[in-house]
Structure 1
Amino acid sequence: MPFRRDLLPESATIKRELSEGYLLSYLYYENGSIRYDGLPPRDRFSRPVDNDTLFFTHSTGKSIFSYIVGHAICEGYISSADETIDWPLMANTVYDGQSLQDLLNMSAGDSHVVTNGASRVVGAGTHHRDMGIDTIANYLQGTERSGGGVFYNNVLTDIIASYVAYRAGDNYERLLRRVFQDKIHIGNDVYFELHRRTPTEGRQSPYYGQLQTRASYSFLMTREDFLRVAVAMMQDYQQQTCVGQYLRNAQNQAVRWPKYRPGNDNAQLWLHNYAADYGSQFYFDFHGMRSRNIIATEGYNGQNIMIDLDNSRIVVTNSAATGWDQRTFVLNVIRDGELPR
């Protein structure tokens, strides 16, 4: 379904960043219409960036997958975000017996089993997506929860994704269609990056190749489908649907985000520096807007979404690298409802 457009005058600041900087796409949406639709000049790159260009979600995919968790709860595959993890694949591991909410909040006490780089299981020596979740479970055998607080990592969200695949069973792909086609009304194909099939210690595990060992939060999507996701989230929250209540609970159960540092040097390069709380794979309580209902996602190199749930404003950015001011292009626009000049 195409978007309505009620475009504001061109912003010289946004135009300059799209022409010379790292931004590859800028979308500002307000009250049902796209108000700014920014792309690089068509001759800037050998292949132009356009509405068919696919962008990796990177960690914005974590938030999108949390949205899928909300649908899994509302369709009865999962009882609630407080459900206790009872999953044969993960038996006798750090995650066994924990609440799903602790996993969603990255508060699972798993900092001792994932490397500081956030994408490798201790002892594995290779990227976590280059092995099946069954292999990861084998590395985790005998581990227990240790410590508290948020430990942000990439391994855990893929474990959540695989848990949803386990709980949905043969209906997993139906669940994804319900989210992407029926709810979001995507305009283009969405591509998933799956875990590789890997034997466990030289032999195939009983779970070898099953979808519950291969699901992930990593997607490829077009810029307008990023926006469609954001609009669907906003509407669910505002209309207090079942999934909207999941998002409200995510906000209410958010925990202190340890990287809230708006006054640091170079803080403006990362959106998460301005968030005080983190809940269910989303950022909340932003500097200068603590009294407002703002929800945001952040993906590597600036694949970001920020939603003003009170005033129906959304900013979506896609970027080639970190190196532009999140305050100028995202935070201030959401706060004030005005584009940079």
Structure 2
Amino acid sequence: MTNLSLCSGFGGLDLAVEQITGNKTTVYAENDRFAAQVMAARFPWATNLGDITTTDWADLAAQYEFDTISAGFPCQDISNAGKRKGITGARSGIWKQVVEAVRHTRPRLVFLENVEAIRSRGLDVVVADLASIGYDARWTGVPARDVGAPHLRWRWFCVAYPTATDPERGGRYRWPRDIAEAEGRTEPADGRHQAAGADERVKLLPTPSAGNFNDGEALESWMARRDRLKAKGVNGNGMGTPLSIAVQLLPTPKASDGPNGGPNQRDTKGNYYLPGIAVRLDRDWVTVDGVDYGPAIRRWEAILGRPAPEPTEPGQRGNRRITARFVEWVMGADAGWITDLDIPRAQQIKIGGNGVVTRQAVEGYRRLLVPDLAAMAAA
């Protein structure tokens, strides 16, 4: 039982697929030399194809048989943090190579990952391309905080499978293509996986998702409005506080935090990115302006089973700067998975910011693997 990994990064998505299916990654395609160094160290038995755009997929299919494919194809042209060119942009256009890999190798299941913004800037292309080669798909969005991570980081997860296995072909019922949209919602439909309520008010660290659009309403004004409704006899149960209001979010592990990040860089709304938050934290994880990230940090420490590393270190000019180990920890990677290797600090941070929170991916795919597909994954 083998997996083909495309656009592998540090292998976070591949670890999720292995955890779900038991399939080990035997071949991967990673063109970034530093990310490839991580893959070579952590998957030493696997072969690196290198540049995905020069791979002969027909030849690969003649040499290998893959049960699954995992692909976190580039999101820079899709992400809200990028130029928003969509899936046809130079980087995210790599998707066409993923389609060719699926078309030639015909895996039983395909595990995809991208930014949440793909829903409006490329999902139609993804679904149409998969359909053109005989694959159907189910998808949903999952925030990293659903698995306890100290940042939001919404991500889109998708499972594709040969159309012949679609229950629709039996004429019995219709699978919703997006289990969040199935009930007209933008968050996961399963109530067990909803974000924590407002009473917890856990402050989240900035994450590779850099937006907090709440129409200008703050937690205090929202709760006052809720109380007014209750005073009128309206039951407040089920009136969940929007995530962007219930928690105070800041920018987080981004790939650019390594080569270009600095403690004073901010987004267009004036919020600091993760390097700026890190240098403003005290030993209790409270920023100089009083924002307490302690509950979120301690929750992630309990889940990972290890304490958070020092968030900063002395820089070359004596100033404080974010540590690569803190980014690695925030992303949920094993201690030293990236940082124990002889890779420049800036590149380690870039690799972490480009990566996948494995626990988040496992959660997303498990939501999508209904009994028929789960049986395929376990077979």
With structure 2 as the length reference, what TM-score do the two structures score? 0.28
Higher RCO structure (Cα 8 Å, ≥6 apart)? 1
Q: TM-score, normalised by structure 1?
A: 0.30
